[in-house]
Amino acid sequence: MGYANLHSCICDLERSGQLRRITIEVDPHLELAAIARRAYARQAPALLFERVRGCRFPVLANLYGSLERTRYIFRDSLPRLQALIGAKSDPASLLRPPTRLLAALHGASHLLPRRRRSAAVLTHRCQLHDLPQLVSWPADGGPFITLPQVYSEHPAQPGWRHSNLGMYRIQLAGNAYAADQEVGLHYQIHRGIGVHHQAAASRGQDLPVNVFVGGPPALAVAAVMPLPEGLPELAFAGALAGQRLALAQPPGWPLPVPAEADFVLCGRVAPRQTKPEGPFGDHLGYYSLIHDFPVLQVERVYHRPGAIWPFTSVGRPPQEDTSFGAFIHELTGTLIPQVLPGVRAVHAVDAAGVHPLLLAIGSERYTPYSPCDRPQELLTQACAILGQGQLSLAKYLLIANEQDAAQLDIHNCAAFLQHMLQRCDWRRDLHFHTHATIDTLDYSGTGLNQGSKVVIAACGPPRRPLPEQLPERLDLPSGFSAPQIALPGVLVLQGPPCFAPGSQPTADLQRFCSHYATDHPINSFPLLILCDDSAFAATTLENLLWVSFTRSDPARDLYGIGAFQQDKHWGCNGALVLDARRKPQHAPPLEDDAGVIRRLESWAVHGGPLHGII
């Protein structure tokens, strides 16, 4: 049986050697988050900080710090849940073997929440300033809740069956928020709470909202699951926990709360009120800057006896949320062919910041009676992918044909990129969507939520070998230097800085491309990437993906040698050139506070309180 609350999970992890208690006092300002990030990098156990400076509540970090530990937490319910998900994608699978049917039925029995008259979480009240004031990065605008479960119901259809539970960050203090009264509610586009907020605003009403912290671990995972419309996250949490979710009703409040939650903030969101929120060090590896977002007017803060505050710190991938993503893919990957006919798999690349880069494997079935020498159905499938929920936020979608390489692994990014580069025809296979919607956290486009997309589709036999050595003559234009081969067929070069006064990114790239004829040896590399530090970008595949796809917008930053436009289609006869230099509109990258790191390193020496953890 799964865990009914966070306390039982912590006790089990401690018994199995997967949790360490930290008894030294730790500062919630930068120290705790820096420890958590380094603990994740070391694949350390979950960490329970018992003494948090200025706060009476203990803090739990690195709970989902490895995919193995995440699987362990849900080990009892996973077979039943996978049978239930498999039944949706392939009902006949329930009979192979027959025990799958029993497992699926058992899992379905946990979908309906149950009501309790009383709840531990409603026994105590506190103020916002009593909660852990955790600040993760030096330029953050204040303390944030980083594992919130934000609950709302549709105003026209109240009740949990039409509810939404999402993980939308909450700024606890700072900026212009009224102390102990207001918190920032940062929800982005394509989020379910937006539908509820719009419905309430159209009626001229405030939207009641609960923010849960802690509780059964299944609740946090359910809050980030890409569930189909009509399946409430509360129901999924019960199936994942292996037991029906217990709900209780606070007196005089319209929304229920999980009876086993550790904390609950109850408040209301006005129809049109916003205040500046941020900055916040985010999962792309940069700060999301200050923007206006809704305000939650907090009316009550509840907590249970012995409440524990779970916390995570995000930053340049991989971080703890990487384990979340991998676990979710394991649960939902089998549903892709059903939701997107003809598509075998889709992979949002964590190292590239998740939303900037999607890899997909589709299938060409339009003309099975003739050779497949150009993308056809792949383009239809690409449109379907970009029309699916949060997948629509992608900037780069690379889609390959399953029939060309049945063994192609969508999670082997290096092999996938090489497969594409062997087959792409830059005169034909680039398909742009301009003035489109991108991730709120991505500043490579033209404005907040604004940018472009490109679909790169490839099918057929290889068109070219991919070089692995530099040509004898490159004859680089002035200002361009330090060529490095990052992958076969991918040449990385260092370009003039875009932050220099008077710099003109477009002029630099046009000068670079016009320097070469289409028969120049540099075109043996199908992809040229220009960046600020070619040695850094070429050192690891993770560096290459992060630099290339978080620092570029397809419509503005893709160029080509021998470029042309015909019938409103853009292509090039030579190499494709990606400008991945930092631009003036980009957000600053995340950097640790040097003094904090020195202090932590002194604690990590042999015999120190954090030895073996960070």
Q: Given this model, what pLDDT does residue 372 score?
A: 74
pLDDT per residue as tens digits for the range 119-152: 999 999 999 999 999 999 999 999 999 999 999 9
- Give pLDDT, residue 500: 61
195-216 pLDDT, tens digit per residue, is: 999 999 999 999 999 999 999 9
pLDDT band at 226, cuts 50/70/90?
A: confident
d(CA 7, CA 20): 14
Confidence of residue 319 (pLDDT cuts 50, 70, 90): very high
Assess whether pLDDT exceeds 50 at residue 95: no
Tens of pLDDT, residue by residue over 454-498, are 999 999 999 999 999 998 888 999 999 999 999 999 999 999 998
Q: Are β-strands 149-153 and 59-61 bridged in parallel, bridged antiparallel, or unpaired?
A: unpaired
Return the C-alpha torsion angle 353, 356, 361, 363, nearest 10.
170
Distance, in Å, from the CA atom of 204 to the CA atom of 131, rounded to the nearest integer, reads 32
Rounded to the nearest angstrom, the gap between the alpha carbon of residue 587 and the centroid of all alpha carbons in its chain is 17
- Its CATH class, for the domain covering 335-458, is alpha beta
Q: Which two tokens stand for residue 505?
A: 């990114």
pTM of the model: 0.91
H/E stretch holding 104 reads helix 99-108
What is residue 483's three-state secondary structure? strand
Each domain of the chain, given as residue ranges in start order, spans 6-73+110-311, 335-458
CATH architecture of 6-73+110-311: Roll (2.30)
Residue range 13-44, pLDDT digits in tens:
999 999 999 999 999 999 999 999 999 999 99
The DSSP letter of residue 55 is B
Strands of 246-248's sheet, edge to edge?
114-115, 246-248, 257-258
Q: Residue holding tokens 């259809």?
A: 157
H-helix segments, 463-540: 505-514, 534-539
Which tokens hold the place of 424?
Answer: 């792409």
Range among 312-326, 331-345, 439-453, 537-551 rated most confident: 537-551
Tens of pLDDT, residues 542-553: 999 999 999 999
By residue count, the chain amounts to 614
8 has a pLDDT exceeding 90: yes
Asked if residue 384 has pLDDT above 60, the reply is: yes
Find out whether 224 and 324 touch, Cβ atoms under 8 Å: yes
Given a contact cutoff of 8 angstroms between Cβ atoms, the answer to whether 293 and 259 are in contact is no
> Degrees (nearest 5) of the Cα angle 214, 216, 219?
80
- Establish whether the linkage from the previous residue to 279 is cis, with ω within 30° of 0: yes
